[in-house]
Structure 1
């Protein structure tokens, strides 16, 4: 049995796992992502630490795949730009190869997640898939005829930085009005915290859940409140879903996939998010009523899709 390690690097966590050929995770390890103000080597230290822990339990691991939240160059070795990390033209594969004795592949984290959902999850059987990952920001990936489409320079699928509101909210990428400022986990928490700080009477449920400390509010708390019937939290998730539907309709006009897979931490809200997204998608879809509509489905592999896909991509590359 060929085993590989997958590492998923996000804005808040570095998650790793030993993955077999069927996509099953045999062992897990996790660390907090070092703050972006830290020098790049600190993130690499964290990755090496996770890999060493996993290889100690499974010494037969043959390859390591890294799914990075950023623009990964076409060589699948260099992270050109990571908005939520300190990497700028970072030769990640070469740096890690000096410290990890195994073949290493680096890819965008959303590419890895999309590959996993196509191979083992919600998109099996559909060769044309678009994945939208809602987490700290928004990551995206395109699969065409069973192959990840990376673009000429390796950075296709960065849907989170499409401009949807001219001169809108400032984004960490340096532009304004990016999609992820309206349909991500950060957007959800920003709006909910603002309501608490404004002492809004409709935010009393959310405020009570964090004892009035707005900075302790998280996306999962908002989702839990919505599931418990809090109308404000339900409305906040519906607003995120509305913006999600707008972006998906734009992507359908450009790419016309058969399936949109929605992953990332925010997707845990399920139909509280996807219901409003489908409604807006149908209203905004170009040529609506005269064309087949793509499916919009929740990712089946959850937050582990990135590490599963990174491991499987690395294994395939190592096997040639």
Structure 2
């Protein structure tokens, strides 16, 4: 363990999660912070990251070899700059250089979904699969493509932004600036939006969920909806099934583009399990072109849960250092 530790930091829309990760993908120390509001200056987010890294360095049994950052946004192909982060204030933010000036370790930045996909391929649900597409359902939708052990980042580093495929012309406005993006129909935000609208409209069908938040729809969260569905709330089940149906539509489109052997579904919404994935699988089969005459990709739930991003970010950073012979 003395020379295979790395730190992974996963920056999401609501939390910054960090961990010290060994070469087998085990998290041996953890840190967590709230993500600063999107209007906050970029250096404040960097302060939060540095603070979490310092805590993890103090907790590590030996000095890690590198730090990997998984960021929810568009990351440049040189893995140094966050070009655009819909849920943060980063716009062409030189994140790697900013952090290297404050942390005396090699730093690598990647998209958070790339990090999660790498972790699931190395240690989780899709080990040994040669062609993987990951879809992360969280605040928005992140995505990643892995082929023959290589992350496919695209010419400019922005491959895998599946959440911003347009599925409904002139549909709901998205934070990216367009309308009708997939994540407006199949993400955690979409799930919460629909449930809150029912509570705000005093729908009797949402009475149980309204009771959970004392009638205040702004207090309702995605995990609460999942909890309600798991407790037998038929409206919550219906909302999850609707999200799953839209998920299946998008997966069928992605199958046409990438023909993977497996889709791995991660992110917080995936905690709903079969209530989400069963409708997704049915919708996928219904919308897949050439259905009945082509092999179908497996659709599996991610195994590493909320820690996939930090585990993958750490392992990608360690891999980079190893491939460079210990020098960045």
Unaligned runs of 5+ in 2: 324-328
Match of 1:64 among 61, 67, 77: 67
Partners of 2:22 and 2:109 in 1: how far apart?
18
TM-score scaled by length of structure 2: 0.97
Q: How does 1:1-320 map to 2 (within 5 A)?
A: 1=1, 2-58=4-60, 59-320=62-323
Q: Find the residue that maps to 2:197 and give its secondary structure.
A: helix
* Structure 1 runs not aligned, ≥5 long: none
Runs of 4 or more, structure 1, over 4 Å off, are none
Q: Secondary structure in 1 aligned to 2:108?
A: strand
SS at match of 1:182: helix
The alpha-carbon deviation at position 178 of structure 1 amounts to 0.3
User: How far apart are the structure 2 equivalents of 1:258 and 1:191?
Assistant: 32
The aligned counterpart of 2:326 is none
Q: Hey, what's the Cα distance between the residues in 2 that align with 1:181 and 1:228? A: 26
3-state DSSP of counterpart to 1:53: helix
Once the two structures are superposed, residues 175-213 of structure 1 have per-residue CA deviations (whole angstroms, 9 ceiling, x without a partner) of 000000000000000000000000001000100111111
Aligned counterparts of 1:282 and 1:100: Cα–Cα separation in 2: 48
Aligned positions, number = 320
Alpha-carbon separation, structure 1, partners of 2:16 and 2:233: 32
Match of 2:186, SS? coil
Find the residue that maps to 1:142 and give its secondary structure.
Answer: strand
Deviation at 1:96, TM superposition (A): 0.2
| Counterpart Cα distance in 1 of 2:265 and 2:157 | 22
Q: State the TM-score, normalized to the length of structure 1.
A: 0.99
